[in-house]
Amino acid sequence: MHLTLAQAIRQARVVLRDVIPMTGPQKPASAKRLTERQMAESLCRPSSRDAPVPDFVYGLPDVQLIMWATCRLFGLTKVEFQSTVREHRIVKRRQAAFIVARELTAMSYPQLGRQFGAAGRPFDHTTALHAIKNAGRGTRYCSAETFAGLVAEIRSFVLEIRPSLDPSRAWEGYR
């Protein structure tokens, strides 16, 4: 059973209510916030590059495969990934996935926005445009080198699963 992030947080709150003692006004709130996040992430689907790839993944369209690979690598749920949340750990990974999708598919910005958004809440083309043009800049949370590593990791994982997406192999067989 896979839980959404909201369900996982609700379960974590129930567990934490009994676990964290009230020792001071500041400490419990900050400790609870960190522990809630850690518990929510552990309750959601596990992330591992080494785990076997399920059979259904091989039939996914290219952009869906990139989104699945990003979620799998970084322990995100599909609901988190497609949400409009601006939390740093989600935004940077979504931006990296936008870049990989733009490199490996021939989709326009509006098409990418529709594919990356949830049903009924597609992202605007400007979201994809912003992600691709500005994501490589370093921020106080993520340096440009770290971000380049995210992009490279997603790209290599996707190309392991579907080598036909590799642009350098596009003309193989047409010689």
Q: Is residue 175 part of a domain?
A: no
Q: What are phi and psi of 118, to 5 degrees?
A: -80, 165
Q: Is the confidence at residue 148, as pLDDT, over 60?
A: yes
Residue carrying the six token digits 């790839």: 53
CA distances from 133 to 13, 101, 154 (A): 38, 14, 18
Q: Is the pTM of this model over 0.75?
A: no
93 and 33 together in one domain: no
Print the domain residue range for 141: 55-167
Q: What is the CB neighbour count within 10 angstroms for residue 72?
A: 21
| Residues 96, 122: Cα–Cα separation, whole Å | 18
Residue carrying the six token digits 């989600």: 90
Residues of the chain with pLDDT > 70: what percent? 67
Q: Is residue 48 part of a domain?
A: no
Which pLDDT score is estimated for 67?
92
136 and 158 together in one domain: yes
Q: In 3-state terms, what secondary structure has residue 118?
A: strand
Residue 121 is classified by DSSP as B
Q: Is residue 173 part of a domain?
A: no
Tally of CA atoms within 13 A in the half-sphere of 143 that contains its CB: 3
Q: Is the confidence at residue 45, as pLDDT, over 50?
A: no
Residue 132 CA, distance from chain mean position: 15
| Residues 25, 23: Cα–Cα separation, whole Å | 7
**pLDDT tens for residues 6-35?**
666 666 555 444 444 444 444 444 444 434
Domain count of the chain? 2
Average pLDDT estimate for 131-148: 79
- Retrieve residue 150's tokens: 């995210």
